[in-house]
Structure 1
Amino acid sequence: MYKPSLILFLFIAAATVATTGSIELYGNEIFFRIGEAEGLPVVVIGDGPGISGSYLEDILPGRKTVLYDSAGSGKSSDVGSLDLSLEYYISELSAIVHELELERFHLMGHGFGSLIAVYYALARPAELSSLVLVNPILSIPQLDLLIEEYTLQNDTVPDKLKLLFLNYRGDIESKLKTTVEDINRDIYDQFWGDGPGVTGELRGLDISSGLSDLRMPVLICTGLYNFPGVDKVIDYQKLSPKSEFVTFINSAHFPMLEESEGFNMIIGDFLRRVEAEQESSPEHDLSGRAVDILSGIVSLGEKDNGVDMDLEIGRDFTISLPSSPGTGYSWRLEEFDGSVLRLLSEPFYEEPGTTGGGYQVFQFRVIGPGETDISLSYCSCWNDEPIGTYRVGISVPLLEREVLSIDESDNGKSFSVDLAIPLEVSLNVTTGTGMSWRITSTTSSILRQTKENEYLIPENTPSVGGTIQQRYYFEGINYGTAYIEFSYGRPWEETPPERTFGATITVAEPVHDIYIARDSDNDRHIALKLDQMLILKLKNGSSSDETWYLREELPEQLKLLSDPFIEYFEEVRYSVFYFRTVERGEGVLELSYGSSASPDQSIDTYRITLKIE
């Protein structure tokens, strides 16, 4: 995808120390500049496209800033193998972050750069400490209407470049001189169009609704004299539940130049507050390895990338990785050994937060001994090149296992085995007849044949009329019941078999003492054993006055073990209930959501039907 170039220069000017370098992305050389300082870096995406980021070089002095010229602007080339597109610019930012090994940073976007910043924040939220949007443009249809209104009110067709970019107050021409001279108008018009409205590749694009999915702190700021106006930009703030809003009263499109002192002070204060809050009150972090002591399920997360771990046969585990499908990016399973692991279901999306920003979940079961890597890549639907990768290594020891051996005397019988226990089926064959056994029926999702069948020939067995054994080898790879059937005859004859053999094999699932029910189990029927624990975890809303509570008396089959309590995950409140099954039979467990002080005015209900055996 891309390859790094050596860092080339060290600049020392006044109080600024910066290093520069470049990466190669799809044939384009992309130049970046790093302002050296302590603390979390701030990655800044300039306006554009086709506009150099040189006007941002003095932004946030004293902070570690990362600036770069997008393809076809400034020092960066546009000779690559891919056509420029919005998706390309997202990949470009991802490549810079990957090359500089930025695990955690602040992200700032200006103008068009805010569009790229929001896309990235939705796709990779775990990397961002905060998001700063300066004069953001997130809804192109809305902007198109405002340009049309501007045209009618002023009876003139505006130059979009002057209206949206070259709009400033004060004497900052000298600071914009290099940027203005280097504007690549062809690229700018490719995206914005050369007519009065937005007729280029950005036409119809609207990502403003994605603001409600952002969980990191967000600062939205605008200049009082910027087009399309404060009243339009503040609408974005209303969509983002964790955002702040600032208006720079002496600025238009370039508050970092028009009011540089105030801009640096306000942005710097926001970043410091975010860092102080995150340092003193770290988020509940379930992105690393965890073992549910009650259920025995291993949960792996983003922080487990690159780890190697030992697991035993029969162990279930999940991999949960931050994902935002609305951006077009998702995790793709690239590799694992199907003889060691089994994917239990299709990957699914889980949204633990009340404001979005969820996880893509992969569920596995260990089914056999050996070693395997699980490899995943984070790709878009338009480009197979990943912007992120994930790998865990799984090692499963080969333990001594007692073999279940059956023969023709077991015809018609049923057997129960554990997962991965070897099963040998030995069937008699008469020598010199040309007859042999063959499999006529099996359940491949439950049992697999571990190797080719073979013949066991005792010493001094006569070549005609003697008895030898034909042996088949199986093992259970999934819980459930399988039926295996064999027929005995000559392979080349289409006549009924001389005899058959069949057996029922149940691969028994271990009985867990704990069953955990969640929001997704609403309206389900659940089978439990007597004296089994039931844990119920239900997500609450943002109001602290509302919670889940028992709506009716408990069914006689259940006993409440303790008072319900609140548990937090990713800043989301969960109501947790512990029960134990005490009687056989069928009963209904029903809960309501709302204020317990007004039980007759519930907002939602939850109901599961329990069958206790």
Structure 2
Amino acid sequence: MSQSTKISEGEAEYDVPAAGKPCKTWYKVFGDLEDPARKRPLVALHGGPGSCHIYLLSLAKIWENYQIPVIMYDQIGNGNSTHLPEKVGDMSFWTEELFRNELDNLLRYLRIDGDYDLFGQSWGGMISSAFATYRPKGLKRLILADAPASIPLWIKSAYKLRSELPEEVQATLTEHEEAKTLTSKEYEEAISVFYKRHLCRLEIWPEELIRTYATLKNDPTVYISLNGFNEFIIIGYLKDWSVIDDLHKIEVPTLVINGKYDPTQDEAVLPFFEKIPKCKWVRFEESSHLPHVEEPERFLEVVGEFLSYE
């Protein structure tokens, strides 16, 4: 990072009466939002659900390369934002609306709600796509990276890839799922085979990714509540989630990204391409679920050009 890069951090108060305590959303800005000559900022939403901003830090190069301010934040329950472990499993609390409202609150707090772009990765893309269907007046461009248009499509994709794992790995997964021994070492090792093929295909995972998963493991409240046990057993709030019926409401130019080996296979993102009126789709042939990590140079070029085009 250049020494001349302006980096700032802060917290936005987020009023959530059902939380029973004050809540704050932590954010980090690369660039100067107060500069009257600045370009339209990009707000990045992390995935998980239950991860944090750390694994997206390479997106700061969009500021370096294109002078587009980049804003990252930790969603409520995650990272540096307010944690609510007492709400684990409460599906009336952990809803899509909670996260859409948080995004809206942050945009207003930073005074950029009249002019901004959105980048959502995985679960962050699910929030972003749903948010965009409400046609927020300040949204100009939308990027949906490795995000499914519905959870049923995601599950179908995941099981398609699972069927291509070595037979002994599939057998181990099934055996422990039937026995409900999902915390066993054998099951975790079998799941890791899937992750190494379809989450991040790099031989050595970057430190930012390792740190991100450490934070999720330290407090899995959001993951358990929204998702469930893992990518194959989704029993949380999101189990029937879909944005497909509302995609025609998205009016802004949209870029859809996925990887060849992504759990978000082509059929899981196809509804975006078919139903969003102004949509471009780019698939990364050497990537799985994290093209910004696996093919960083091409990723930054694709995203940077999309954001810079007028």
Change (3 A) 1:16 1:221: same
Q: 1:97 aligns with which of 84, 93, 107?
A: 107
Give the distance between the partners of 1:160 and 1:114, measured in 2 at CA.
24
2:69 is aligned with 1:34: no
Q: What is aligned with 1:21?
A: 10
Matched, 1:137 2:119: no
1:110 correspondence with 2:121: yes
What is the letter of the counterpart of residue 220 of structure 2?
R
Cα displacement string for residues 58-103 of structure 1 (whole angstroms, at most 9, x for unaligned residues):
2023320111001121111224999332211111101100101111
Residue number in structure 1 paired with 2:19:
none
**Per the alignment, in what secondary structure is the counterpart of residue 187 of structure 1?**
helix
Superposition pairs of residues 421-436 of structure 1, within 5 angstroms: none
Change in Cα spacing, 1:259 to 1:147, as seen in structure 2 (3 Å) is closer
Which of 62, 75, 78 is matched with 1:73 structurally? 78
Structure 1 residues 68 and 223, CA gap change in structure 2 (3 angstroms): same
Could you give the per-residue CA deviations for residues 555-591 of structure 1, whole angstroms, max 9, x where no partner exists?
xxxxxxxxxxxxxxxxxxxxxxxxxxxxxxxxxxxxx
Match in the other structure for 2:45: 45
Partner of 1:263: 299
Do 2:254 and 2:279's aligned partners in 1 also have CA atoms closer than 8 Å? yes
Q: Distance in 1 between matches of 2:288 and 2:100?
A: 26
Q: Is the 8 A contact 1:125 1:216 kept in 2?
A: no
Describe the shift of the 1:97–1:160 C-alpha distance in structure 2 as closer, same or farther (beyond 3 A). Answer: farther
* Residues 109, 133 of structure 1: 8 Å contact kept: yes
The answer as to whether partners of 1:148 and 1:197 remain within 8 angstroms in 2 is no
Distance in 1 (CA, whole Å) between partners of 2:205 and 2:258 is 17
Q: Does 1:84 align with 2:94?
A: yes
Cα-to-partner distance string for 1:351-372 (whole Å, 9 max, x where unaligned):
xxxxxxxxxxxxxxxxxxxxxx
**Counterparts of 2:146 and 2:98 in 1: how far apart (Å)?**
22
> Structure 2 residue aligned with 1:245, among 281, 291, 294?
281
Q: Which has the higher Rg, Structure 1 or Structure 2? A: 1
| Corresponding residue number in structure 1 for 2:201 | 169
- Superposed CA deviations along residues 355-405 of structure 1, whole A, max 9, x for unmatched, are xxxxxxxxxxxxxxxxxxxxxxxxxxxxxxxxxxxxxxxxxxxxxxxxxxx
Q: How many residues were matched structurally?
A: 263
User: What is the CA–CA distance in structure 2 between the aligned matches of 1:86 and 1:214, rounded to whole Å?
Assistant: 17
Query: Following the alignment from structure 1 to structure 2, what is the Cα–Cα distance between the partners of residues 266 and 166?
Result: 21
Q: 1:55 to 1:14 in 2, by over 3 A?
A: farther
* Partner SS state of residue 271, structure 1: helix
Distance in 2 of aligned mates of 1:126 and 1:233: 25
Residue 192 in structure 1 maps to residue 194 in structure 2: no
Summarize the Cα distance change of 1:23–1:232 in structure 2 as closer, same or farther, 3 Å threshold: closer
Residue matched to 1:182? 215
1:398-437 aligned at under 5 Å gives the runs: none
Give the letter aligned to residue 19 of structure 1: S
| Change over 3 Å in CA distance of 1:21–1:162 after alignment to 2 | farther
- For 1:165 and 1:70, locate their aligned partners in 2 and report how far apart those are by CA, in whole Å: 27
SS at match of 1:126: coil
Q: Please, what is the CA RMSD of the aligned residues? A: 2.6
CA distance in 2, matches of 1:165, 1:117: 26
TM-score using structure 1 length: 0.40
Q: Which amino acid aligns with 2:31?
A: E
| Counterpart position of 1:54 | 54
> Do the aligned partners of 1:46 and 1:56 also contact (CA within 8 Å) in 2?
yes
Find the aligned partners of 1:227 and 1:146 in 2 and give their Cα distance.
6
Q: Distance in 1 between matches of 2:197 and 2:136?
A: 28
For residues 151 and 178 of structure 1, the distance between their equivalents in structure 2, rounded to whole angstroms, comes to 26
| Structure 1 consecutive aligned stretches of length 4 or more whose deviation exceeds 6 Å | none
Q: Say if 1:226 and 1:148 are closer, same or farther in 2 by CA, change over 3 A.
A: closer
Deviation at 1:133, TM superposition (A): 0.5
Q: 1:525-568, CA deviations, whole angstroms, 9 ceiling, x for partnerless residues?
A: xxxxxxxxxxxxxxxxxxxxxxxxxxxxxxxxxxxxxxxxxxxx
CA shift in 2, pair 1:138/1:187, >3 Å: same
Equivalent residue runs for 1:400-479 within 5 Å: none
Report the residue type matching 1:236 in the other structure: F
The one of 99, 121, 136 equivalent to 2:132 is 121
Matches within 5 A, 1:202-221: 202-221=238-257
Map of 1:310 onto structure 2: none
Q: Note the C-alpha offset of 1:159.
A: 4.2
Instruction: State how far apart, in whole Å, the 2-side matches of 1:32 and 1:161 are.
Output: 33
Contact 2:143 2:254 in 1 (8 A): yes
Return the structure number with greater relative CO, CA threshold 8 A, min gap 6: 2
Instruction: Give SS of 1:67's match.
Output: strand
Return closer, same or farther for 1:68/1:162 CA change in 2, 3 Å cut-off. farther
- With over 3 angstroms needed to count, the CA separation of the structure-2 counterparts of 1:265 and 1:75, relative to structure 1, is same
Which amino acid letter does the alignment assign opposite residue 123 of structure 2?
F
**What is the correspondence of 1:558-597 to structure 2 with a 5 Å cutoff?**
none
Shift of 1:245: 0.8
How far has the Cα of 1:128 moved from its partner? 0.9
Q: Deviations over 1:305-343 (max 9, x none)?
A: xxxxxxxxxxxxxxxxxxxxxxxxxxxxxxxxxxxxxxx
Corresponding residue to 1:225 among 237, 261, 266: 261
Could you list the per-position Cα deviations for residues 8-56 of structure 1 after superposition, in whole angstroms to 9, with x for gaps in the alignment? Answer: xxxx854532111001223222100111152000011110221011111
1:122–1:166 CA distance, 2 compared to 1 (3 A): same
**Higher percent of residues as strand:** 1
Structure 1 residue 161, shift from structure 2 partner: 12
1:166 and 1:13 map into 2 onto residues whose CA distance is: 33
Query: Which residue of structure 2 aligns with residue 359 of structure 1?
Result: none
SS at match of 2:208: helix
Superposed CA deviations along residues 139-163 of structure 1, whole A, max 9, x for unmatched, are 1122233334445554343749965
Q: 1:122 to 1:217 in 2, by over 3 A?
A: same
Q: Supply the distance in 2 between the matched residues of 1:93 and 1:161 (Cα, whole angstroms).
A: 34
Q: Distance in 2 between matches of 1:185 and 1:225?
A: 26
